[in-house]
Amino acid sequence: MKFLCIPCDEVMGFAERQLPGDGTMAAVFTCPGCGHEMAMLTNPMETQLVSSLGVRVGGRTVPEQPMELTRMAVTDGREHAFAEPAAGNATSTADHGVAGPDAGTAPARVTWDDEARERLSRVPSFVRGMVKRIYADWAKDNGIAVITTELMDRARSELGLEGM
């Protein structure tokens, strides 16, 4: 889907996405020629159709997680369907903050304070591992060693984790 500014004959570029929480979506596009803005508004069914493709309008703020669509789309997910890797056998940074090649200033280990841990425990287990990894990776990228609820709110806002 492309939007063409007819007076300028220019393709409008994506500028912003908003998900108000009622199943609808607003995607704002801007003409690079005249600066005119327009919003594409989708109804819940149209929004669902796009998300069922496993894509995000405007691009992703975090890499697509393994089985993200399945976890986000399927209801009645079994409690404990997913288990975390055994300690010492993790390839995820979620528990251990394993330093990657870009982890020059990253903390060696990301931990969670009690409140953050409690909030995380309320996330359904079907998606908890995925959500935990996203927060932990964000913390590592930002040089944060201890995740608090305030930092979780900041991460949600920065990453645009609507629906997570």
Partner 1 sequence: MRKIRTYNEVAHETGSRILEQVLEQRGRLESRLSSIRAIVAVVSGKGGVGKSAITANLAAALATRGARVGALDADLNGPSLGRMLGVAGIALVDREDGVEPAAGVAGVRVMSMDLLQEDDAPLRWRGPDGDGFVWRGVAEAGVLREFLSDVAWRDLDYLLVDVPPGTDRISRLLDLVPQPHQTLLVTTPAEISRFVVAKSARMLRDAGVEGVGIVANMTAYMDPAAGTKPLFTADGALALARETGLELLAEVPFDPELGASTDRGRPFVLERPDSPAAHALETLADRIERGKGGRLSP
**Rounded CA separation 109/139 (Å):** 10
Q: Between β-strands 25-30 and 37-42, what pairing exists: parallel, antiparallel or unpaired?
A: antiparallel
Q: Is 52 in the site for partner 1 (CB under 8 A)?
A: yes
- The total number of residues written for the chain in this structure: 164
- Closest approach, Cβ 156 to partner 1, in A, equals 19
- Closest approach, Cβ 53 to partner 1, in A, equals 6
Give the number of residues in contact with partner 1, rule: CB under 8 A. Answer: 57
Q: How far apart, in Å, are the Cα atoms of 74 and each of 68, 77, 78?
A: 10, 7, 10
Q: Is 33 in the site for partner 1 (CB under 8 A)?
A: no
Q: Is 41 in the site for partner 1 (CB under 8 A)?
A: no
Q: Between β-strands 37-42 and 13-18, what pairing exists: parallel, antiparallel or unpaired?
A: unpaired
Q: Is 91 in the site for partner 1 (CB under 8 A)?
A: yes
**Rounded CA separation 63/52 (Å):** 17
Q: Is 25 in the site for partner 1 (CB under 8 A)?
A: no
- Closest approach, Cβ 12 to partner 1, in A, equals 7
Q: Is 113 in the site for partner 1 (CB under 8 A)?
A: no
